[in-house]
Amino acid sequence: MGDSRPNILLITTDQQHANTIHALGNEAIETPNLDRLVDEGVTFGRSYVANPVCSPSRSTILTGEYPSRHKCWNIGVSLDENRPTLSKILSENGYSTALFGKAHFKSVLKTGSFEAPPHIHDRDFWRTWSGPYYGFEQVRLVHGHADESSSHGMHYGAWLVDQGIDPEKYFGPDGGHREGSWNLPEEFHYTRWTADQTIDFLKETKDDKPFFAWCSFQDPHNAFLAPEPWASMYDTDRLPAFIRREGEMSDKTSLHQCLIEDRFADLDVDVMQDPSHATAGIQCLGLTTPKIGEQRAKQWLATYYGMISLIDHHVGRILSSLDEMGLSQNTIVIFTADHGDYAGNHGLWLKGPLHYEDVIRVPFLVRWPTHFPANVRSGKLHSLVDLAPTLLDLCHIKPTSTMQGVSQAKTWENPSVPSRDWCLVENRAEPEFYVKTLVTERYKMNYFLNQNEGELYDLVEDPHEFINLYRNPAYAEVLTSMLKKMLDIYGPLEDPYPARESFA
């Protein structure tokens, strides 16, 4: 008799805005397969990341820990391979574990790193190695974005060459700067490849052993480049208007103002320069609409939507494969993203330590037909730090003492029952520039450590975060209570302590 414990399929995207699913209210975008997940499962519309940057967020998903605990606090910092991970725990408890697509648990620019050049272009190595990696028994990896040189590395790059594709024709050292339509045929695109690897794994699954598979797409992260027909799918004149308001930066922090006015030199912050990306400001903080121009901004959004629709197409193929193999009824499917994108709102693009909802709130869909209700939308608070302990709970496995998230199992089963009343976001964008965000049912506070600045928003009355209440005397009591709440939160997060052996 086979193992009756649930299979787990985690599907993630990279840098996907929460408002990019048709069924959830965005009528401009076409996402029929994500719409299917919405119809067949539960949508949690208030799901937050623990950090709005790739490596820290992915490390939190894997460990159930905040970045201040697992120490992968930004890109360019590797996650300790000895930390307990969801994949390792599931593997030790009889699960087949696999990761397909983007990992980014290690530095991708440091020479000598496992996920950095020149190693990622060692075709012979990647043809013969498939794990283990961070607890995953089987991996097939790719990372990078659009036509960057790193995008044709790892398993995907070796596969491209084996298909007779010359990577230099479609990728290169100057990649990441083209926009719109990519001449790489869709059949060789890394999004299809990642889906294919996932489907092949599902076809090989055995009934006597449950699986945990992470399908990790690296789009719609910039650069905004897609193959046809996806690149031309959206008319720039039919896209939703950007969320912004004249003069909205006047009550914001100096970082907001210096970014939108392109005067980073006025900030007294030491930043790590990246010569390959020609950045001039704080880590991960992108360009602005005033900098790139209105028409280019609209084209970015159109291609961004096309990249999401391409992913949606392949999500549909994966869901169909589950159906064809009779796996759908006993497979927990989760769809989410590692972080969002400003996507032109407030005049901003990409991501960074300006914690608008655009970058810290992500889509979050769950489906398990035999256990979770269908076509339910919940406003209960979720955090990606909860993902590991929740999945272990649903598999009847005790989480490790290192995990700091809470189990959302009861909430997934009954979406009207909350499992938490706050979410915490940590973002050490630079060693000396640290932003902590606390989100409650109504309010959000962004506290800029050692900057004598901050933000406070009433998300009920001001969902677009136009009015900063941080220095408004009428909200002094609310601000004080939020600051005290954050202090109280960090007490338990310091656990576990070793047992006391004696009085002295």
Angstrom CA distances, 136 to 96, 218, 276, stand at 8, 18, 31
CB atoms inside a 10 Å sphere around CB 369: 15
AA identity, residue 325: M
Classify residue 282: in a domain, yes or no: yes
Instruction: Look at residue 281 and tell me whether its pLDDT is greater than 90.
Output: no
- Residue 268: the pLDDT is 78
Tell me what the mean pLDDT of segment 54-79 comes to. Answer: 97
Distance CA 15, CA 312 (A): 14
CA distance 273 to 156: 29
Query: Residue 263: CB partners within 8 Å, gap ≥ 6?
Result: none
Which one has a higher pLDDT value, 178 or 499? Answer: 499
Cis peptide leading into residue 6 (ω within 30°): no
- CA-to-CA distance for 210 and 224, rounded, in angstroms? 37
pLDDT digit string (tens) for 226-239?
Answer: 999 999 999 999 99
pLDDT at position 2 is 55
Domain count of the fold of the chain? 1
Which pLDDT score is estimated for 286? 84
In sequence order, what E strands does 289-391 have?
A: 331-337, 348-350, 361-362, 364-367, 376-383
What pLDDT was estimated at residue 496? Answer: 84
Q: Does 308 map to a domain?
A: yes
pLDDT mean across residues, the chain: 94
pLDDT over 90 (residue 279): no
Whether residue 499 lies inside any domain: the answer is no
User: Would you state the structure tokens that stand for residue 307, as one six-digit string?
Assistant: 């990249």
> In this model, does residue 441 exceed pLDDT 80?
yes
Q: Residue 177: pLDDT above 80?
A: no
Q: How far apart are the first and last CA of the chain?
A: 55
Cα–Cα distance for residue pair 229/33, rounded to 1 Å: 18
Confidence of residue 455 (pLDDT cuts 50, 70, 90): very high
User: Is 15:220 a contact under the CB 8 Å cutoff?
Assistant: yes
**Most confident of the ranges 16-30, 160-174, 279-293:** 16-30
Q: How many CA atoms lie within 13 A of 31 on its CB side?
A: 29
C-alpha dihedral (231, 234, 235, 239), degrees to nearest 10: -130
The CATH number linked to 237 is: 3.40.720.10
- Residue range 386-422, pLDDT digits in tens: 999 999 999 999 999 999 999 999 999 999 999 999 9
For 486, the domain range is 7-493
Which pLDDT belongs to residue 35?
A: 98
pLDDT at 149 over 80: yes
- Matching residue, tokens 């594709």: 165
User: Does any domain span residue 446?
Assistant: yes
- Percent of the chain, pLDDT > 90? 88
Strands (E), 15-106: 42-48, 96-101
DSSP H/E element including 63: helix 54-63
For residue 498, being part of any structural domain is answered with no
The tokens describing 383, both together, are 């955090």
pLDDT for res 275: 53
- Provide the 10 A C-beta neighbour count for residue 293: 10
Q: What is the tens place of the pLDDT at every residue in 1-17?
A: 357 899 999 999 999 99
Has residue 501 been placed in a domain?
no
Residue 500 included in any domain: no
Q: For 348-382, what is each residue's pLDDT tens digit?
A: 999 999 999 999 999 999 999 999 999 999 999 99
Residue 503 within a domain: no
Q: Are 184 and 226 in contact (CB under 8 A)?
A: no
